Structure 1
Amino acid sequence: MRFLAGIATAICAVNLVIGRTFAWLSLAIVVVCFTVVVQRYLFSASYLWMQDLYVWLNGAMFTAVAGFALLRDDHVRVDIFYRPARMRTRALADLVGVFLFLLPFTWVVYQYSMPFVLRAWSYHEASANVGGMPGLFILKSFIIAFAALIALQGLAMAIRSILVLSGHDRLVPESIRYRTDQGLTNPAKGDA
């Protein structure tokens, strides 16, 4: 069981580093968008590649931080039933949800996006706009990264559920512990 806990810890560490790193793109998005607006309305100038840039940064950020959001328990769920449930009930719901919904979803995303991404790489696809940015094929690769990071974090959730259901909840990594009824929160969220 310690081996499983170690795998979950490693997965969470990867998503934590990627999430915290790519979250900084939000600042870059604001700066680029602000620059585009200032150029357009104050100087009557517009660069199409800059407009592409903030849209592409947005896409890269949201696909890269999806696993981090799952780690932090920030994805949408029906909290009216889930939050008041006992830890073992939540573990069972997560285990079923991961194998019935999350992993099949990530497999479908991977299967349908891989030919799309490979085709973009085959001819180094760029923006469809004249004067737009090159390298759209790199951005499209983030679809695969999205599926992989979500699937990995789903496996970490499944491991957490297995540890809880088998009575080894003390081995659950701190970054993905369930919230308790005593008001303790998920340390990955930075709550006290």
Structure 2
Amino acid sequence: MLDALVWLVTNIGMAFYNLAYAVTHPQLWLDWSDPEAVMRVVYYGGSVEFFFVAFTTILVLTALGIWRNSIMWTGVIVLEGFANAVGRFFAWAGLIMVIQQVVIVFVQRIFAASEITLGFGQAFSFDVSWWSEELKLYNAMIVALCVSYTFVQHGHVRVDLFYSAVRFRTRKIIDMVGALVFMLPMAVIVWMYGWFFLWRHLITPKPSASEDLDRLLMKARAFRWNVETIGFSPNGFNAYFLFKVLLVAFAGLIFLQAVAVLWRSWLEFREGEESEGKHLDRDRLEGGTAESAEHVFESR
């Protein structure tokens, strides 16, 4: 127990040094013309050091927010605003997906063409099957990049067994426990899995989560980019590495949203019912807000 506590305190203390060193030595990890810089990004992106930099940053901001509520409210506004901005932008992928599907049907059934060419100035042409399989990318973008936006908008399906029957402050405690026990650990696990899963399909030699920094720097001598371009069919979509990028982005958005949920729940717990929904940017529907539409649905 004592060893674990020493380990925790040591890593929290080292987080300040690691963050300062990374900021003051950007050439060590931003110069991707240097294979060793890429390997440092691969290692530190899924490392204990990176986790404690993020953990300590949240810990410090939370302590400041407990001391002064306005600091924490600013953090909530920034995180929820970021989730809304990302989600509202990539939600347009749904419209693009529908339009592209309509074009594919017309090209195949009416014009009996085997390829679709798209471009302005520099055109690129792919088989119809490539465009058909690429539709899955739009769907993945909506799922991965609109997840926190949907959470902010209260758009996720919710199975309510006892939540609505308990008092306001009890609900806030449930939200905080949910963020700490479920959302944050799940986001970290998905990130750890997705991070190395992504890089194994981008570079060779393939990195492993069990390798230390020295081992990865040795591998840098044989480094080369090897981006995955294998499709499920000969003429099918061949950029499946983008799905690995979306997996990492999904985990990052869930992590940030968990922090926003934790902070908002604490502030609403502390300030009382009058603060519920404070600074919440909800989309407006015809005839009212999204929240009022949700209440109408629940009442029915």
Q: Deviations over 1:122-179 (max 9, x none)?
A: 221124132234432233201111111111111111001111222366496421xxxx
Q: Contact 1:126–1:134 (CA<8 Å) still a contact in 2?
A: yes
Q: Contact 1:2–1:171 (CA<8 Å) still a contact in 2?
A: no
Give the strand-richer structure, 1 or 2. Answer: 2
Give yes or no for the alignment of 1:9 onto 2:90: no
Give yes or no for the alignment of 1:93 onto 2:174: yes
1:126 pairs with one of 212, 222, 229:
229
Cα distance in 1 for partners of 2:238, 2:92 equals 22
Q: Measured at CA, do residues 127 and 70 of structure 1 come closer, stay the same or move farther in structure 2, by a change above 3 Å?
A: farther
Cα distance in 1 for partners of 2:192, 2:142 equals 22
TM-score by length of 2: 0.56
Q: Return the offset for 1:11.
A: 0.3
Q: Which residue of 1 aligns with 2:196?
A: 115
Q: Contact 1:94–1:157 (CA<8 Å) still a contact in 2?
A: yes
Q: Deviations over 1:44-68 (max 9, x none)?
A: 3441220122111111121100010
TM-score by length of 1: 0.84
Cα distance in 1 for partners of 2:242, 2:95 equals 21
The SS at the match of 2:73 is: helix
Q: Which residue of 2 aligns with 1:180?
A: none
Cα distance in 2 for partners of 1:79, 1:94 equals 13
Q: Which residue of 1 aligns with 2:269?
A: 165
Q: Contact 1:5–1:172 (CA<8 Å) still a contact in 2?
A: no
Provide the aligned C-alpha RMSD in A.
Answer: 2.1
Cα distance in 2 for partners of 1:104, 1:74 equals 22
Cα distance in 2 for partners of 1:127, 1:25 equals 23
Q: Return the offset for 1:74.
A: 1.8
Q: Return the offset for 1:86.
A: 3.0
Instruction: Decide which structure has the larger Cα Rg and report it.
Output: 2
Q: Which residue of 1 aligns with 2:251?
A: 147
Between stretches 134-143 and 86-95, larger displacement belongs to: 134-143
Aligned residues with identical type, % of pairs: 27
The SS at the match of 2:155 is: coil
Q: Contact 1:71–1:188 (CA<8 Å) still a contact in 2?
A: yes
Q: Contact 1:120–1:136 (CA<8 Å) still a contact in 2?
A: no
Q: Which residue of 2 aligns with 1:20?
A: 88
Q: Return the offset for 1:84.
A: 4.3
Q: Which residue of 1 aligns with 2:279?
A: 174
Q: Return the offset for 1:38.
A: 2.1
- Residue 105 of structure 2 aligns with an amino acid whose one-letter code is V
Q: Deviations over 1:13-38 (max 9, x none)?
A: 10110011001110000011112222
Counting matched residue pairs gives 181
- Residue 130 of structure 1 aligns with an amino acid whose one-letter code is P
Q: Measured at CA, do residues 83 and 41 of structure 1 come closer, stay the same or move farther in structure 2, by a change above 3 Å?
A: farther
The runs of 5 or more residues in structure 1 that have no matched partner are: 176-186
Q: Which residue of 2 aligns with 1:58?
A: 139
- Residue 93 of structure 1 aligns with an amino acid whose one-letter code is I
Q: Return the offset for 1:120.
A: 1.9
Cα distance in 2 for partners of 1:139, 1:35 equals 23
The runs of 5 or more residues in structure 2 that have no matched partner are: 1-68, 115-127, 204-225, 293-300
Cα distance in 1 for partners of 2:83, 2:74 equals 14
Q: Contact 1:70–1:150 (CA<8 Å) still a contact in 2?
A: no
Cα distance in 1 for partners of 2:167, 2:81 equals 26
Specify which structure has the bigger relative contact order, considering alpha-carbon pairs within 8 angstroms and separated by 6 or more residues.
1
